[in-house]
Amino acid sequence: MHRTRWLVWLAFFVAGGVLGQPVKTNPERVVQVSLVPGIGTNGFHPGTYTNFFSVNFTSGFSNANRIFEVATISNLNVSETRGFQLAGVANLTGSNAFAALLPKEIDKKINGGFEANLHGWQLAGLTNVVLNNVFGAQWTGGVNQAGGALFGWQLAGLGNTVHKYTFGVQLAGLWNTSRASMDGVQVAGVMNVTHGGLFGLQLGAYNHAEFTTGVHAVDVSGAWGVQIGLINRVARLNGFQFGLVNIAGPSQGTQVGLINIYQRGKNANTKDGTAIGLVNVGEFRYLAVYADELFAFNYEVATGNRKNGRVTSDAQTRSMENALIYSRGNWHTDGVWAVGYGLKKTIWNRTTAPGRSEYRFLGMGAEVLQVNTERGKFLRDWNLITRWKVQAGTRLHPRLFGVYVFGGATLNYASGLQGNAADRFEKRSDASVFWPGFSAGVLLH
């Protein structure tokens, strides 16, 4: 009985192959059913047909599909896919588009405007591939690939690749690539890459872009580029980077990270950006040695950005500075020492008078010190003093470039100081205290 039923089905498909030979260049079928390519209702030449609904028990092969297509293994459409396409392994749009053509014929076909595009959704277990553009969505457990542009979504267990530009979203377990540009969102477990502009967000362990836009860009666009990851890299930064390590070429944007590596901008009358981090490799700001009410010796090294150094019309030079601080020689208790970090904004005078440019400065900002109570031993617990500081300085002599004397006032706060560091305040170690302070020293700029 079962054998007879299968023979009837086979006769049906063979009859379709004989009687269903195409009589038009691009015939259409409302419904198409096949066992394998060439054995089905579209006959021995299924690649010439455009189907509206297509059911393929193994793999399907057609010129195009309009509404719905499903296959247990794969679907292949030569010129176009519309609607919803579902396959157990792969969906392919544009494969065989140039089969048996000479190079001159291929060029003629492309120059004539041929594109094999997806207008709809593809869902496959292993891969979705479109020769040209995707207008819609590709979802797969493996890899999605668009040979042209993406206007929509890609979701992949492994990776997504767009050979031109993206207006939309790429989500992947390992990598996303949008070669020409990225105008949207890339989220990956390992890597996001565009070799053009980033006009959106990259979120991953490693992010790479050729350039990002932002408020300090020469040609300002409405979109800002943002990178968030362990390592962020951009050849020209006008947007934002947030990560452990941020790397940029000429920077007119903002970097926030443990290590920031950057270059100063080059375009006249444009501003540099801001680097906030413990280690900033790009521009040295100053070295200072001073005393304050807690320690006889404080050593401070600052890096950062001379933000408006190329803007000739500004009356002042403004800089953002990251300071690393080492303090020793407590006035009250032997063995107490501290390390800290400060973030400050400094305003330097600017004038055309000979020898008077950046003659004086005014700085303000905040510092955090970790106080250690035993010589040579770093406390494992937090033992912090927070300072709000204002300081002013001037050159010793107009011709003595780079050497300044300065003084400053501070407002200090500490809570729960441990060990003999609390003796300085003559209070219990769990007390919270405010007190005024001072600083005075020499700065080399």
Is 162:179 a contact under the CB 8 Å cutoff?
A: yes
3-state secondary structure of 7: helix
Look up tokens 């891969």; give the residue.
127
Q: 337 is written with which tokens? A: 């020492």
What pLDDT score does 358 carry?
A: 80
The pLDDT, as a whole number, for residue 423 is 53
Which stretches of the chain score pLDDT less than 50? Answer: 1-2, 4-23, 420-422, 425-429
CA gyration radius, the chain: 33
Fold of domain 284-444: Porin (2.40.160)
Output the six-digit token pair for 35: 């066992």
Phi, psi of 175 (to 5 degrees): -145, 155
Per-residue pLDDT reduced to its tens digit, 93-116: 988 766 666 677 666 766 777 789
Residue 335, φ and ψ in degrees, nearest 5: 90, -10
CB 17 within 8 A of CB 38: yes
Residue 3 is predicted with a pLDDT of: 52
What's the CA gap between 445 and 427, in Å, rounded? 39
In the three-class reduction of DSSP (H, G, I as helix; E, B as strand; rest coil), residue 424 is classed as: helix
Record the pTM: 0.84
What kind and span of H or E run contains 5? helix 2-19
* The predicted structure's pLDDT at residue 307: 80
Hey, where are the domains in the chain? 2-225, 284-444
Please identify which residue in the block is written with the tokens 């000739």. 312
pLDDT of residue 306: 83
What region, left, alpha or beta, does residue 168 occupy, with left being phi > 0 and alpha being psi -120 to 50 degrees? left
Q: pLDDT by residue (tens digit) across 241-250? A: 999 999 999 8
At position 139, the amino acid (one-letter code) is W
d(C-alpha 285, C-alpha 60), whole Å:
67
The per-residue pLDDT for 103 is: 78
